[in-house]
């Protein structure tokens, strides 16, 4: 169990580095925007990622605490349950970051930015697949309390029409160097978080 929390910390530290790098890319676009629309657009994405950074900075000390204190890790400990639910929201945050990076790839078209943004989006895509597997495991070990409202992207909702989704986000891509369950095993063993995405995958593929 502790190993999953250590993996989560590694993911959050990695994405924090990504946020700082991404904010550095956005900043000159905000400051040198050609009009109010462009300025608002880049400011808006910058602000959302800065907010995610604030959330991660608040979450990490609690995560570290429960890495060191196994006794508190149970589904009746309100603070621990809140941590699990906050982690679930940061799962959505990683998906959202992936979309911010993919949007940026359309507007930062010089080779240097393309290379930097592509590396960041691939790392984020891998980390997103990993955090989903970890959350399924945490839900199985802690009575499903990690499920939080607002943790499932539109792309993975079973009750949303495929016409509103983006295909590449509805399909599950195995993380390199990480043992990922096959879809069949997933459907058998996991909770709502990924079953939705797998069903959608069938619909849109």
**Which residues contact a copy of itself by CB under 8 A?**
27, 30-31, 36-37, 39-41, 43-44, 46-48, 50-52, 54-55, 57-59, 78-79, 82, 92, 96, 99-100, 102-103, 106, 148-150, 152-155, 163-166
Helix (H) / strand (E) element for 55: namely helix 36-68
Alpha carbons 123 and 119: distance in angstroms, whole number: 6
CB of 51 or CB of 69, closer to a copy of itself: 51
- Could you tell me the smallest distance in angstroms from the CB atom of residue 165 to a copy of itself? 7
CB of 149 or CB of 179, closer to a copy of itself: 149
- Could you tell me the smallest distance in angstroms from the CB atom of residue 49 to a copy of itself? 10
Nearest to 22 by CA among 118, 89, 152: 118
CB of 79 or CB of 173, closer to a copy of itself: 79
Cβ atoms within 10 Å of 107's Cβ, excluding its own = 12
- Could you tell me the smallest distance in angstroms from the CB atom of residue 45 to a copy of itself? 9
Residues in the chain: 205
**CA 88, chain centre distance (Å):** 9
Alpha carbons 202 and 205: distance in angstroms, whole number: 5
CB contact at 8 A, 104 and 117? yes
- Could you tell me the smallest distance in angstroms from the CB atom of residue 23 to a copy of itself? 9
CB of 79 or CB of 182, closer to a copy of itself: 79
Burial of 204 (0-12, 13-18, 19+ CB in 10 A): middle
CB of 65 or CB of 178, closer to a copy of itself: 65
For 171, the token pair is 């399909």
- Could you tell me the smallest distance in angstroms from the CB atom of residue 134 to a copy of itself? 20
CB of 2 or CB of 162, closer to a copy of itself: 162
- Could you tell me the smallest distance in angstroms from the CB atom of residue 104 to a copy of itself? 11
Alpha carbons 16 and 182: distance in angstroms, whole number: 30
Alpha carbons 59 and 39: distance in angstroms, whole number: 30
């Amino acid at each position: 169990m502790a190993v999953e929390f250590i993996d989560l910390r590694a993911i959050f530290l990695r994405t924090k580095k990504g946020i700082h790098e991404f904010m550095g890319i956005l900043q000159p676009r905000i400051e040198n925007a050609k009009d109010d629309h462009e300025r608002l657009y880049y400011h808006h994405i910058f602000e959302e990622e800065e907010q995610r950074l604030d959330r991660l900075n608040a979450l990490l000390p609690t995560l570290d605490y429960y890495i060191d204190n196994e006794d508190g890790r149970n589904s009746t400990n309100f603070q621990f349950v809140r941590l699990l639910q906050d982690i679930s929201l940061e799962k959505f945050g990683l998906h959202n970051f992936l979309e911010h990076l993919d949007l940026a790839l359309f507007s930062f078209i010089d080779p240097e930015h393309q290379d930097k943004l592509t590396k960041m989006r691939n790392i984020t895509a891998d980390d997103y697949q990993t955090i989903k597997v970890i959350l399924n495991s945490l839900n199985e070990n802690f009575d499903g309390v990690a499920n939080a409202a607002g943790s499932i992207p539109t792309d993975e909702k079973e009750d949303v029409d495929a016409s509103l989704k983006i295909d590449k986000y509805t399909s599950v891509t195995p993380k390199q160097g990480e043992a990922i369950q096959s879809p069949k095993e997933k459907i058998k063993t996991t909770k709502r978080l990924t079953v939705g995405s797998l069903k959608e995958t069938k619909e849109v593929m």
